[in-house]
A and B are shown apart, each in its own frame.
Chain A
Amino acid sequence: MTTVAVPGASALARLRDVRFRIRPGTAVSSLIVLVLLVAVIAPSVLTHRSPTAIDLEHTLLPPSLSHPFGTDDAGRDLYTRVVYGARESLGIGLGATALAMGIAIILGFTGGLAGGIVDTVIARVLEVAFAFPVLLLALLLIAIRGPSVTTVIVAVGIGSAPGYARMVRGQVLAVRNADYVTAAGALGHRRSAVIRRHLFPNAMRPLVAVITLGIGQSIVWASGLAFLGLGVAPPSPEWGALLSAGRMYITTSWWLEIMPGMVIVLVALAVTSLGRTMQHQLEGAAR
């Protein structure tokens, strides 16, 4: 159990300790996420066409070598649109998860640290919110504010916040009474310093993986909303919007639904699978 390492060599030793067992699933997932990131940062690397170039001579073409995903009713290349839509879709996923985590951290830490009546109230509110369907909440918000990227982010963010908040609160309660938190207090550290340096990082550590899982889920939710016509409006190449636009031709031009739908499923799967791998790694690293 004892590691006696020369300071310089210790990083190497640690590297050797971690057994990098890359499973094929993880490799494929990593590849998908990598391509996704390229699509977000530099979509023109993946396609030479423009997502808005209308070509009325080639409308509703099935997938072929020149148009791998086919073309839509305006003759736009579907593959190009999916590539350019990645930025918005991932943006919604990240934005909604960030908002949800933000709310969750505030509620979870307030409840977990304050205790007493404050905690009881927060816990009850969370339980009620948790029982409330995300979709219903989203519908309500969109009905009030009208569909837009921001509204979708807010709707999905608020909708998934209670679940995270419960997890954060549970973690805070567990870490709050950990011996090392007591020990830091006994050393004479300020409570705020103890929270910042011990409580926060240790409570959040197991949630890193959950956040990754949440991104995939948010993308799916946003697409679902868009499909119902409640998300981003169709001219945009956002994936949900593509689905929504293809709805009309579902009986004649299957690729308008299947191709973007497959991309959504693959991306959500890849992100979720990476999240799981991370979760296992972190749980293995922690005691």
Chain B
Amino acid sequence: MTAAAEATKELTNVTATGTPLLHVENLRVSFGDAEVVKGISFTTRVGRCLAIVGESGSGKSVTARTLVGLTGPNSLVRADRIDLAGLDLTRQSERSWRAIRGREIGFILQDALVSLDQLRLVGDEITEPLKLHGWGTRASRRERAVELLGSVGVPEPEVKVRQRPYELSGGLRQRALIASAIALDPKLVVADEPTTALDVTIQAQVLDLLAESKVRGRSIILISHDLSVVARLADEVIVMRGGEVLEQGPAHQVLHQPRHEYTQALLDAIPSEHTRGVRLVRPAAADSAVRRTRQPIDRDSPVLEARHLTKVFRGPDKVDRTVVDDVSFELLAGETLGIVGESGSGKTTTARIALALLQPTSGEMLLHRQQWSALSPAQRRPLRKRIGVIYQDPLSSFDPRWPTGRIITDALRTGSRPPSSGAEARTRAVRLLEQVGLGERHLDSAPLRLSGGQRQRVAIARALAPEPEVIVCDEPVSALDVSIQAQVLDLLTDLQDELGVSYLFISHDLGVIHHVSDRILVMKEGRVVESGAADDVFERPRDPYTQRLLTALPRLAQA
């Protein structure tokens, strides 16, 4: 406690923007024999934001946790120096860490739903750090909670403090978590993927909030895999991979004149920065001559047609909610139609109606100009092979007992040309796996043991197996790292060029939608607010909501 108190005294003297606040030199973290952070050094400054960028397993989150002493009991942290304005963070007991966390360093985690205690009031969660550090009285703390929630842009804060985390939307929860992290106004805020689970407009609000605290002279360490988010906030960027720093420098330099090829690959992988037809993964120099030829879009034959779809759900409170409201669209053979919207916009419900997994309350769905949604389940079954689906979480869409090979041969049997023998099924499964960039060696592997990207490739192979004309892609890349996302998006485009399959592509990510789609449908609260050619919607949005979405979309150019 005394060490922390002394440090606080010192900290108050450090105010001028640009003054170094935290020094980290040669930080190494290992778990058992595995070293996950291999000697990194950085300095954060007052009123500046340092971003640590990397993909899963790069060691960026472990680095962040080191700064609040939360690496866990099995970890070994070594560093030549970790110094927060005179306070040596390398030798703190668990007891003294508690005095530092919240007061000197605020920590914001990615998932507010699991970080906040579901059974406690939001207000109690926010006043917790105040109480722990003996701030004010019960009444004044409650007042402060309302004030803090208001300051992070939560409407009706005096109502929200009396609610529980699960009663709030994702964006509000994240803001409540930020409010509790900044309750004591710490000098340094460590934010680990603070906006990853959020819709673009909410993401923009959260980033603005962090930018504001930067102006107030706070120092921020932002951990992210998303370079476009980093561009919005960071002054300095560190690019990590496999526990090592690949590149480190001022944000505009790293983002616009990257020196390391991995940084370049990450930048190439950002879908919003590249229009349709541009590969997100640079081909190796040898096969740069490969140019894609696209199957022509057949304007006369819509493969899938939605006519005035409406879906009403009755809630447990007996109130009817219109989730999808008069949605119509046509999907032509060989094209990609993107449906973009934030959570609760009805896009996933639309996808489920398109797949006839859900019946519309009114309106109808046509497949090849034939009845689709109006059929009985038995009549529909033989037609199901013509429309495939790829889910956001491939793992949960596989039977946990089945190996990859069985998942694919099972799908082959539902197609129009079921394999006549086990040997044929195997050959065709291998061919499909090769088509999606996997191979025979994956036939026997359990999906649980595959990486996220490989799992999604298996899901794509399964969707292709019955040779469908349409594939509904429901957020297929949302759970993937940027570079893996880029590979999967490239694969989907390649397969369309090769096979002429149509995609109904659902996503909350405008960048991804713009990159893959020929035409775009923007949904809000169940209604289509704008539709048109991808570039028209993206470059010249007419609807105010679309305009707002696009302004909220982080772009590299902002750095």
Task: Give the contacting residue for B445; candidates A5, A182, A184, A188; CB below 8 A.
Answer: A5
- The answer to whether A7 touches B443 (Cβ under 8 A) is yes
When distances are taken between beta carbons in the complex, the residues of chain B under 8 Å from A202 are 399-401
Give B378-409 as 1s and 0s: 1 = Cβ < 8 Å from A's Cβ atoms.
00011111001101010111111100000000
- The answer to whether B441 touches A5 (Cβ under 8 A) is yes
- The answer to whether B355 touches A186 (Cβ under 8 A) is yes
- The answer to whether A178 touches B444 (Cβ under 8 A) is no
Ordered nearest first, which 6 A-B pairs have the shortest CB separation?
Answer: A188-B384, A179-B396, A179-B397, A183-B397, A3-B449, A188-B414
Instruction: Select from chain A the residue with minimum beta-carbon distance to B453.
Output: A2
Give A40-77 as 1s and 0s: 1 = Cβ < 8 Å from B's Cβ atoms.
00000000000000000000000000000000000000
Interface residue B448 (Cβ < 8 Å from any Cβ of A) = yes
Question: Bound complex: CA of A190 vs CA of B410, how far in Å?
Answer: 13
Could you list some 9 contacts between A and B, CB below 8 A?
A2-B454, A4-B441, A180-B397, A180-B399, A186-B384, A188-B466, A201-B401, A202-B399, A286-B400
If A182-B357, A185-B357 touch, whether A6 touches B399 (CB-CB below 8 Å) is no
If A3-B449, A10-B445, A287-B448 touch, whether A186 touches B389 (CB-CB below 8 Å) is yes
When distances are taken between beta carbons in the complex, the residues of chain A under 8 Å from B401 are 201-202, 205
B98-120 interface (Cβ within 8 A of A): none
Give A187-201 as 1s and 0s: 1 = Cβ < 8 Å from B's Cβ atoms.
111110000011001
Question: Bound complex: CA of A180 vs CA of B398, how far in Å?
Answer: 5
Q: Which residues of B contact A (CB under 8 A)?
A: 355, 357, 377, 381-385, 388-389, 391, 393, 395-401, 410-411, 414, 440-445, 448-451, 454, 462, 466
- The answer to whether A187 touches B450 (Cβ under 8 A) is no
Interface residue A15 (Cβ < 8 Å from any Cβ of B) = no
Interface residue A117 (Cβ < 8 Å from any Cβ of B) = no
If A7-B443, A179-B396, A180-B399 touch, whether A188 touches B449 (CB-CB below 8 Å) is no
Give A163-192 as 1s and 0s: 1 = Cβ < 8 Å from B's Cβ atoms.
000000000000000111011111111110
When distances are taken between beta carbons in the complex, the residues of chain B under 8 Å from A10 are 444-445
When distances are taken between beta carbons in the complex, the residues of chain A under 8 Å from B414 are 187-189
Q: Nearest chain B CB to A187's CB is how many angstroms away?
A: 5
When distances are taken between beta carbons in the complex, the residues of chain A under 8 Å from B462 are 187
When distances are taken between beta carbons in the complex, the residues of chain A under 8 Å from B449 are 1-3
Instruction: Select from chain A the residue with minimum beta-carbon distance to B405.
Output: A7
Instruction: Select from chain B the residue with minimum beta-carbon distance to A11.
Output: B444
If A182-B357, A183-B389 touch, whether A2 touches B450 (CB-CB below 8 Å) is yes
Question: Bound complex: CA of A185 vs CA of B391, how far in Å?
Answer: 14
When distances are taken between beta carbons in the complex, the residues of chain B under 8 Å from A5 are 441, 444-445
When distances are taken between beta carbons in the complex, the residues of chain B under 8 Å from A186 are 355, 357, 384, 388-389
